[in-house]
Structure 1
Amino acid sequence: MLDGQGAIRGGVPVCFPQFNMRGPLPKHGFVRNLPWAVEGAARALDDGLSLTLLLQAGAATRAYWPQAFEARLTIGLRPGELQLTLDLRNTDRQPLSFSGALHTYFAVDDIAQARLTGLSGQAEWDSVRDLHGQGAEPLRFTEEFDRVYQAASRALALQAGDAHVTIAQSPSWGHTVVWNPGAGKVIPDLTDDAYRHFLCVEAAQVLTPVTVPPGGTWQGWQRSTVAQ
């Protein structure tokens, strides 16, 4: 329900200022549950459009977190391409420390047939088994999968049936998270077979926080391009 009491499943939830339960705030922070304002009108790009959403600190955010900040999410659309850019400004007199993610859901016909490449050799934490290692490829998804990778400098490639998607992220995100709950995991707002039809590939900051000084800014983006 769109009542602000819980996140909306799918799309690209913005996890901020906390990733998952790694801190005292609600899971994945609170901004994904709050209304954002449209800032200005849509702007024309060379071959597309962009629109910026704004969330400023106020009574709703201070109920969770005392920090003063401004967050902007710019949605850029071009043929076959989506770029989401998160801009943060610390408007407080104290440093702003955060973790978070652009928690992107990619639709797939059958998760068992999906393949993800581009993370080979990257440091990997398998949070399901609490094991550390290095990424191997291609990544395949036959059971619950929840891993944090050191971000790669190259773009990732997701193949799911006839769909081929390239996924890139800015170097300002230190990690990439890959998640699918697998069969048998009970999630209240998912049907029993919903896991078969999505894969989350997230531009993220998980294991170490980012600190923005007073008056400072930070920007992070993720770009998804469909092969034509």
Structure 2
Amino acid sequence: MTAQAICRDTVFAGLPACELSLPAGDRLVVALHGAHVLSWVSGGQERLYLSPQSVMDGQAAIRGGVPVCFPQFNQRGPMADRLPKHGFARNVAWQADAAELSDDHARLTLRLKDNAQTRAWWPQAFALALHIDLSPGALQLTLDVHNTDTQALAFSGALHTYLAVPDVTQATLQGLGGQPEWDSLTDTHAPAVDTLRFAAEFDRVYEAAPNTAALPMTLNQSLQISQSPSWANTVVWNPAQDLCKRLADMPEDGWRHMMCVEAAQVYTPITLPAGGRWTGWQRLQVLKP
């Protein structure tokens, strides 16, 4: 069914957006700009962090929610000297293509194909689809990459998820223990400890864990985070106070209420032959004791 038949068209901070909701109360808001998930409400709580100072002009990347990073992660990618940081997918308009809705499940698909704007950055033919699945207590984002060119396509990227936390200094993240860890702030490599804590700026890349990572959100509730094996890495980031003060699109205390846990491809680009396809997903599940 068409997205227009199921989604409620809305405007979020001036941006065209789609809203999906379930009878259980779960709700999702997605901007067409960047196919950017702006809000996910489950159990009566907002589960994603969106900076109140995000630039919502339809051109800049949005700070918070779930940015889609493609075709590069940070400045690691096929044409790092020409592409915007984290690529261009989060900076351009996508098309809402199709949607499905039942009592316990909703799916929205957005698409982006190469066009004059993307080819000005990157002379590559491609087709992206972002499938967003909402069910009671769960959100899954699946990124499909199709190389529609006659030459190979190399890319890196991420689902750069900003999670809402009451106080990051009291939060812990389990599930990455023992995985190879690169601390980008100190340029050191070591096995990850079992429990990650966030008392200072944190910017680390992990080899993706074979098990699910679990992020305690409140005393009696946690969020389970999982990703497909097709993503080689997991990135965990929090800017802490000093860096946050230098980010124009973040309030000074914004760092305290967010944590990024990202399904990512950082070190080694994925290469698709002509006509090749790749799929990677991240799933967030609210767990109750």
TM-score scaled by structure 2? 0.77
Shift of 1:161: 2.5
After TM superposition, list the pairs within 5 Å mapping 1:133-148 onto structure 2: 133-148=190-205
**Partner of residue 277, structure 2:** 217
User: Is 1:103 the counterpart of 2:160 in the alignment?
Assistant: yes
Shifted more, 15-24 versus 121-130: the winner is 15-24
Of structures 1 and 2, the one scoring higher in RCO (CA 8 A, sep 6+) is 1
User: Is 1:20 the counterpart of 2:93 in the alignment?
Assistant: no
- Check whether the contact 1:113–1:161 (CA below 8 A) recurs between aligned residues: no
Give the Cα separation in 2 of the matches to 1:28 and 1:4: 17
Counterpart residue type for residue 144 of structure 2: D
Shift of 1:2: 3.0
After TM superposition, list the pairs within 5 Å mapping 1:1-228 onto structure 2: 1-22=55-76, 23-24=80-81, 25-40=83-98, 42-44=99-101, 47-162=104-219, 163-185=221-243, 186-228=246-288
Give the RMSD, CA atoms, in angstroms: 1.1
Structure 1 residues not aligned, in runs of 5+: none
1:63 partner SS: helix
Give the Cα separation in 2 of the matches to 1:172 and 1:62: 26
Give the Cα separation in 2 of the matches to 1:45 and 1:135: 41
Shift of 1:3: 2.9
Question: Per-residue CA shift, 1:177-223, capped at 9, x if unaligned?
Answer: 00000111111111111000000000000011001110010000000
Counterpart residue type for residue 151 of structure 2: Q
Shift of 1:45: 5.6
TM-score scaled by structure 1? 0.97
Give the Cα separation in 2 of the matches to 1:136 and 1:195: 22
Q: Structure 1 residue runs of 4+, over 2 Å off?
A: 1-5, 44-47, 160-163
Give the Cα separation in 2 of the matches to 1:194 and 1:46: 35
Shift of 1:60: 1.3
Structure 2 residues not aligned, in runs of 5+: 1-54
